[in-house]
Structure 1
Amino acid sequence: MSVIGCWNAWGFERPRGKQMAIETRTQNNGLGIIGLIEPRLGVNSISEKIGGMGLQGWNFVDSESHPPRLLVGWDVGKYNPAGHRQVPPQWITHAITVSELRPP
């Protein structure tokens, strides 16, 4: 089963509070894919803020607008990118496949 979370991330740029909330909700709910709307990140701070969420083993793609309006991430232990990707300013499409289940 895939569990997907999406929320308005207004304030994501602020010191750690919103990033910690996203990390906690993602881990507590077993999310495999997350979408953040309106993160309002500066181009130079995207990597820092993604790192601040503490989601090890996740990949992220942003809408490539300035500032990015959308941010989508997925757990690479659960999903693999399948190559097809479109990233215009107002939406993101990215094909992924489910990773083979690994024993615990």
Structure 2
Amino acid sequence: MGKQLTEMLKGTLEGIVLAILAVRPAYGYEITARLREQGFVEIAEGTIYALLVRIEQRGLVDVERVTSEKGPPRKVYSLNTEGRAALDEFWANWNFLAERIGQLHEGDSRR
């Protein structure tokens, strides 16, 4: 992954994770696996776990400890009302930026 893409991803990863949790609750490794299925293969699990701690501290998710067959209980994250509002704001901002960037791209005379 190039440096520019990595930097862009840093700014959007929280919204991406919230979007994953909007589909259904998940635990950290499962979120990482879903990201990899979507082509985000170079995202480290540690990055996701740190992000989950931040969004939990900000009150965007509810956390339930679920018994695991292998090892300690898993923390399963689900989007709550505050998280839904944050995701809605993310999509509004994303749509605004995507539209403006698309206009710039269409106006690029080098294409």
Instruction: Specify if TM > 0.5.
Output: no
Structure with greater proportional helix content: 2
With normalisation by structure 2, the TM-score equals: 0.29
Structure with greater proportional strand content: 1
Q: Return the structure number with greater relative CO, CA threshold 8 A, min gap 6.
A: 2
With normalisation by structure 1, the TM-score equals: 0.31
Please tell me whether Structure 1 or Structure 2 has the larger radius of gyration of its CA atoms: 2
